[in-house]
Amino acid sequence: ARLSRVRALTAGINSLVVRVSGRCELLEGVCRIAVEKGGFAVAWIGMVENGAVQSPMAARYGGTTAYREQLQSKVASDPAQFIPLLDAISAGRPWVINDLEAISEMPLGAEAIAIGLRARVALPLRIDGRVVAVFGLASAQVGIFDEEEQSLLMEMADDVSFALDHIGKTEQLAFLNYYDPLTGLANRRLFLDRL
């Protein structure tokens, strides 16, 4: 049943990937589907730049508003707390905690346990071999992220990475179509389009 849920989540994200054309729409949709169809309690995506998760987060869904705001402010105020997560992510493997109560020092661990979260996973979103974002999921179930589920979630993360890459290239082509790549100024084509 658990693996069927993840497969349904993957199918929902794949249909989203086909329909969306913007990065924000994609990331917000992925988080919403992860909570609504995937049965996860909280989903978030943070863009990675210079080895740190950037603030504000690109998208987040689920959990309480207070928890989402705490997560956002923790990333903004002290990104160094997330270094173990980024070390695992940069190695290209998921960062998994299957029992939050077993680990005493964890960013927002006590807050997560207070709202009923028991397990977390963070997945790398990679484009051309480099991590561009982190996709985090939290569950109320202890031990949910076994090897089989991690494998399916990594496949889903690869689909999201592909969509991010495609959207980025589409945006770049649109820019080059209407702007000079050297100066960034509008070109004749944009002028005629607006005229």
pTM, to two decimals: 0.83
What whole-number distance in Å separates Cα of residue 37 and Cα of residue 21?
Answer: 21
**pLDDT given for residue 166 in this prediction:** 93
**pLDDT given for residue 111 in this prediction:** 75
**pLDDT given for residue 27 in this prediction:** 94
How does pLDDT run across 143-190, given as a tens digit for each residue? 889 888 888 899 999 999 999 999 999 988 988 888 988 888 898 888
Smallest CA-to-CA distance from 50 within 131, 147, 144 is with 131
**pLDDT given for residue 103 in this prediction:** 77
How does pLDDT run across 14-67, given as a tens digit for each residue? 899 888 989 999 999 999 999 999 889 999 898 888 766 776 678 889 877 777
**pLDDT given for residue 40 in this prediction:** 92
**Residue 77 phi, psi dihedral angles, 5° rounding:** -85, -35
What whole-number distance in Å separates Cα of residue 138 and Cα of residue 39?
Answer: 10
